[in-house]
A and B are shown apart, each in its own frame.
Chain A
Amino acid sequence: MSEIAILKIWRGPDKTAGCFESYEVPYEPGQSVLDGLRWIRVHKDPTLAFRYSCINANACKECMMEIDGETIYACTTRLEPRNMTVEPLGNKKLVRDLVTEIAPPQERLRQK
């Protein structure tokens, strides 16, 4: 049987209303956690929210999240054939799922 990675992902609009959900992702050596998250959107649930732009280049620095408790980029962290916990950044305001408010305040829309 081919190997799988199990991603346990925080889902929800804020830190009090939400829960972890687990997704099985086919594992291929060399993949990143971001590859796994993108696979989930295409094959399981397109509403899973996370930030990324450059996909793999580690240039945009938008895909930062907490993976197994460590603050790290999803596109440079290898997917592994085991349970992995993926959470939004703990020190930033949560927007939805794995998305947090990471832009400096002066680069956000000022809502009156």
Chain B
Amino acid sequence: MIEPLLANTDVLVIGSGAAGMYAAIEAARSGCQVMLIDRSLIGRGGATVMAQMTVAVALGSQAPDHWSHHYHDTLMAGRGLCNESLARLLCEEGPACIEEMDTWGVGWARKDGRITAAFAPGHDRPRCVYVDFLKTGPAVSKTLRSVVNKTTGISRSGDLCIVDLTKSDGVVTGAVAWHVSSGAPVVISAKATIVATGGLTRLYRRNSGSANMGGDGYAICLRAGAPLIDMEFVQFFPIGHLAPRLIGMDPIMWDPFRYKLGGRLLNGRMEEFTQNYGVPEDGRYIITRDVGTYAILKEVEASRGSPHGGAYLSFQHCSEAALREAFGPVIDRLAKNHIDLTKMPIEVAPIAHYHMGGVAANAHMETEVPGLLVAGEAVGGANGANRLSGNAITEALVFGRQAGRTAAARVKAMRTSVPPDARETLDLLRGEERKDMPNTAEMLEALQAIMADDVGPLRTQTKLERALSRIDQIDAALGARPFGVAAPFDLTRLDWLDLRNMVMVARVVAQAALLRTESRGAHQREDLPGMLPEWRVNQVVRLKDGCIEISRMPAAPIEVAAQ
């Protein structure tokens, strides 16, 4: 085996999305040495750079607003399951982060000098700031990346995939990474470690996220002894692009069109249908994500879907001038894909998009395990059973900043660092030469198919049990030791490491979904429709002797924020 490389830092930040970069900046400007790493390239591999829409924040720049209104809407959307201290942190500190981003030159869209806010479903007033045209995520990512570059004390490295955290006497002491571009293991010793690895959309065949979103952080933290929460709540984005084939644009790109222009959601018979699910839209855009997803899938099930198995979205009532004004250059990119919105509707269908669940943390971003902090989408609880649009980027910024702060305080209070015990992970990375190596890319697709078909938005006991037994089969084929070799960019080795995490996280999602015998928000059980008062509980997942254990914890009482 290649000798492990050693690195040492005060704060290790895993993942360079909005959460990881803000955490790194905050910890470094509090005087810490920070190592910011990513399995992909810095600032490019996650969901942040892909976000195209809006950021929800009670700035009150256009019309009066207050964080408590945002908080109220967030709790309502969460269907009674939000962790109130996290939701409150998100809403209360959102404005400060958005304003700081503004001073860093992110370029929030403005009208008459004031930052403009769009209206998005579930919010009681226009509250969602953005960067035109579909550039919110790229602008956020680029801005943070340039601040990271300018901040002293942050060393950065891409191509470093974290395999596991290291622990000594119950305390997290750093992590072991696999350096993808050389194949070498790397042992990183840190006084505080922040997991900011984003979500799990890659578990599903059709998803809006990147190839790095296999839920690594959830698996890594679970193995290190930190509990997960609300893992059954995977958010599907109702109107992901389905047809005609579109390249060079993310499938969720229609949302900004709907914010600005409304648009009509039609079934295969060209009839509006959302009113049958309790939400008459009348050309506006008000349906929340959980209800939208449910409505479209139910139409498809009743043989009223569009030809490719979704719904139509039509902007044919908009003039060419109106479309051009709202979307400028995007209209030309659509034309290259032979899409003319004045002449045709497009087809959309639900697509895996975001994870409400995640690692359990308090409002300081501390997990149950000392030395281990989390930030961003990796954190569970702030959004309960359903997330409002725009809350995810705010969450990434606010939680990232808070995690950086807490980490810096921990570092200041510690005299020496504990040397990491990396033996187990280094031994794992020695791997195993196999002649009959299964095709890891094919296994990954098989897992995605299981999740999409049986652990998607509409669930039943039969489907979930079938999924669990199929996940077991994949797990058995995977075995206990990595395939591939410790060579530069061995994707079979990387796939094996990914599958190890994805199988664990898939099992957690399916088991939590099987246990929740009701329907709530993003978790819809077709065999058990309706929300039950006794299920106002959060499910907590722990790993005990390698086995998943799920317990219940009463959700916080709904207390609507005082003005």
Contact assessment for A62 and B160 in the assembled complex, using a CB-CB cutoff below 8 Å: no
Q: How far is the CA of A76 from the CA of B44 in the complex (A)?
A: 17
Q: Are B488 and A58 in contact (CB under 8 A)?
A: no
Q: Let me know if B225 is at the binding interface, CB within 8 A.
A: no
Of B71-79, B247-255, B406-414, which binds chain A?
B247-255
Contact B492 A47 (CB under 8 A): yes
Is A53 a contact partner of B247 (Cβ separation < 8 A)?
Answer: no
Chain B positions within 8 Å of A52 at CB level: 211
- Is B490 in contact with chain A by the CB < 8 A criterion? yes
C-beta contact mask, A68-99 vs B, less than 8 Å → 1, else 0?
A: 00000101101000000000000000011101
Residues on A with C-beta less than 8 A from B181 are 95, 99, 101, 108
Instruction: Report the separation of the CA atoms of residues A78 and B5 in the bound assembly, to the nearest whole angstrom.
Output: 41
Q: Which residues of B contact A112 (CB under 8 A)?
A: 5
Decide if B250 touches A108 in the complex (CB within 8 Å): no
Give the interface size bracket for B toward A: 35 or more
CB-CB contacts below 8 Å: A32-75 with B:
32, 38, 41-43, 46-49, 52-62, 73, 75
> Is B210 part of the binding interface, using a Cβ–Cβ cutoff of 8 Å?
yes
Across the interface, do A107 and B41 meet the contact criterion of CB distance under 8 Å?
yes
Distance, CA A59 to CA B134, complexed state (A): 11
Residues of B contacting A97 in the complex (Cβ-Cβ under 8 angstroms): 489
**Residue in A closest to B251 when the chains form the complex, CB atoms:** A56
Nearest CB of chain A from residue B386's CB, rounded to whole Å: 24
Q: How many whole Å from B93's CB to the nearest CB in chain A?
A: 27
Q: Which of A54, A55, A62, A108 contacts B157 (CB 8 A)?
A: A108
- B247 A78 Cβ-Cβ under 8 A: yes
Interface residues of B, dominant DSSP: loop
Give the number of residues in A that approach B within 8 Å (Cβ atoms). Answer: 42
Contact assessment for A60 and B49 in the assembled complex, using a CB-CB cutoff below 8 Å: yes
B492 A103 Cβ-Cβ under 8 A: no
Beta-carbon contact of B489 and A55 below 8 Å = no
Separation of A62 and B440 alpha carbons in the complex (Å): 22
Asked whether B137 is an interface residue with its Cβ less than 8 Å from the other chain, the reply is: yes
Q: Does A31 contact B (CB under 8 A)?
A: yes
A108 and B492 contacting across the interface, CB-CB below 8 Å: no
A112 → B minimal CB distance (Å): 8
Which listed residue (B41, B248, B491) contacts A47, Cβ 8 A?
B491
Kindly state the separation between the CA atoms of A48 and B489 in the bound complex, as whole angstroms.
9
Judge whether A18 is part of the interface by a CB distance below 8 angstroms: no
**Which residues of chain A are within 8 angstroms of B250 by Cβ–Cβ distance?**
54, 56-57, 59
B156 interface residue (CB < 8 Å to A)? yes
Cα A84 to Cα B441 with chains together (Å): 23
Q: Within the assembled complex, what's the spacing in Å between the Cα atoms of A2 and B445? A: 23
The yes or no answer to A26 lying at the interface (CB within 8 A) is no
Q: Are B158 and A103 in contact (CB under 8 A)?
A: yes
Kindly name the residue among A103, A107, A112 whose own CB sees the greatest number of chain B CB atoms within 10 A: A107
Residue on B nearest A45 in the bound complex, by CB: B439
Q: Is the CB of A109 within 8 A of B442?
A: no
A30 touches which of B244, B249, B251, B489 (Cβ 8 Å): B244
Q: Is the CB of B210 within 8 A of A53?
A: yes
Q: Which residues of A contact B184 (CB under 8 A)?
A: 111
Q: Are A53 and B211 in contact (CB under 8 A)?
A: yes
Q: Do residues B495 and A46 form an inter-chain contact, with CB atoms below 8 A?
A: yes
